[in-house]
Structure 1
Amino acid sequence: MAGAKLTGRLLVATPQLRDSTFDTAVILMLSHDDDGSLGVMVNRPTGTPVGDLLPTWSHIASEPGVIFEGGPVDTDSALGLVRVGGPAEPLGVRRISGQVGVVDLDTPTEVVGPAVRGMRVFAGYSGWAAGQLQDEIDEGSWYVVDAEATDPFRIDAHGLWRTVLRRQPGELALMASFPADPTLN
């Protein structure tokens, strides 16, 4: 399926999604197949420290060491992303692409910790039914761009929307300077 190429890539909200849940969202796609799509917003830190909800993972979590809002679906659940080095897939980790994988948060940290070079914990996720995401892409709601291994683990997560757009080729890079309120322009 051509859509499978979305796994491991970023969805970047277009200005069309202003004033919505996904306003300036950057979503790392964790899966995309005939059954639907799933990803997490990687640029929405909360003020809740990882240690408040998952104390055994707090020493592994990347700065700023807080829970991130993964999306509007199942916000009472936690999902962990890790950045691993080397070709081996550590126990408890399912690679998404390159160095980035999803970690089973029930895996003991002493098993996963030595292989991890970065970690984020997300409350909830962003999900789409079969065909729904492709329809949204076709109608111009999302830019689909390549992810860098460091994107989900950046300290300056709030600035990720502009950073990702700025590094794109051609006219897409100009979208990084899109004003927060175009009516004031």
Structure 2
Amino acid sequence: MAEAIYVGGLLVATPLLDDPNFRRSVVLVLEHDHDGGSLGVVLNRPSEIAVTQVLPLWDPLVTGPSVLFEGGPVHTDSALALAVVPSGAEPLGWRRLHTATPSVSRLGMVDLDAPPEILQGEIAQMRIFAGYAGWSSGQLESEIAEGAWYVVDSEPGDTFFPDPRSLWRHVLRRQRGELAFVATCPEDPTMN
């Protein structure tokens, strides 16, 4: 388990977190500043809305499932995209995440106002998120101290996990020690 919040790390909702926006969610941290707060996207909430309905020109570049993901409860009317590029590439319309974490060193944000053609053939995987998760300065640290989140290291396949709905269990299972057992927690803890 990671010690501190960092860009490229994961926030995994503990079974105690019952907020419907974050229940059993896995959030990738995109920005973190002790004074300015934190920002991330929920990786495991695919919606029923096809990318073709909202951003049809970007659909050919999206990695399945080809739907918008519910990135979080903030600005749900705006979209944010993440994409992986081949090693060393820095294409126009793509900005690398500011992290030294090897697992996300090829991950960056896509400028959805740019023409998709400039990234055609330049990116390996891409997902689009409606909204994001945001915390003011100190808020996320308080939630972690209260037992709402586990802070864990990410792995290369997490952002584009093929079965996003099972990502919560998958991430917890690979943790060491007692944290791995949390993956077996039933959806309804009263059924335990």
TM-score, with structure 2 as normaliser: 0.91
Is the 1:31–1:37 Cα contact (8 Å) retained in structure 2? Answer: yes
Residues 48-57 or 86-95, more deviating: 86-95
* Aligned position for 1:177: 184
The SS at the match of 2:159 is helix
Q: What is the distance in 2 between the residues matched to 1:20 and 1:54?
A: 26
Q: What is the distance in 2 between the residues matched to 1:111 and 1:19?
A: 39
Are 1:68 and 2:69 matched, yes or no? yes
List gaps (5 residues or longer) in structure 1: none
* Aligned position for 2:153: 146
Are 1:8 and 2:8 matched, yes or no? yes
* Aligned position for 2:137: 130
Q: Deviations over 1:104-145 (max 9, x none)?
A: 111222211212111110000000001111111111111111
How much has 1:27 moved relative to structure 2? Answer: 0.4
Is the 1:9–1:144 Cα contact (8 Å) retained in structure 2? Answer: yes
Are 1:81 and 2:45 matched, yes or no? no
Q: Deviations over 1:61-115 (max 9, x none)?
A: 0111000000000000000010111112221212124121111111222211212
Q: What is the distance in 1 between the residues matched to 2:129 and 2:91?
A: 20
Counting only pairs closer than 5 Å after superposition, residues 110-121 of structure 1 correspond to structure 2 as: 110-121=117-128
* Aligned position for 1:58: 59
Residues 138-147 or 63-72, more deviating: 138-147
Counting only pairs closer than 5 Å after superposition, residues 14-33 of structure 1 correspond to structure 2 as: 14-33=14-33
* Aligned position for 1:155: 162
**Greater per-residue strand proportion:** 1
Q: What is the distance in 2 between the residues matched to 1:107 and 1:136?
A: 36
Letter in 1 for 2:9: R
List gaps (5 residues or longer) in structure 2: 98-103
Residues 89-98 or 135-144, more deviating: 89-98
* Aligned position for 1:109: 116
How much has 1:19 moved relative to structure 2? Answer: 4.9
Letter in 1 for 2:81: G
The SS at the match of 2:63 is coil
Q: What is the distance in 1 between the residues matched to 2:75 and 2:46?
A: 17
How much has 1:162 moved relative to structure 2? Answer: 0.1
* Aligned pairs, number: 183
* CA-atom RMSD in angstroms: 1.4
How much has 1:166 moved relative to structure 2? Answer: 0.5
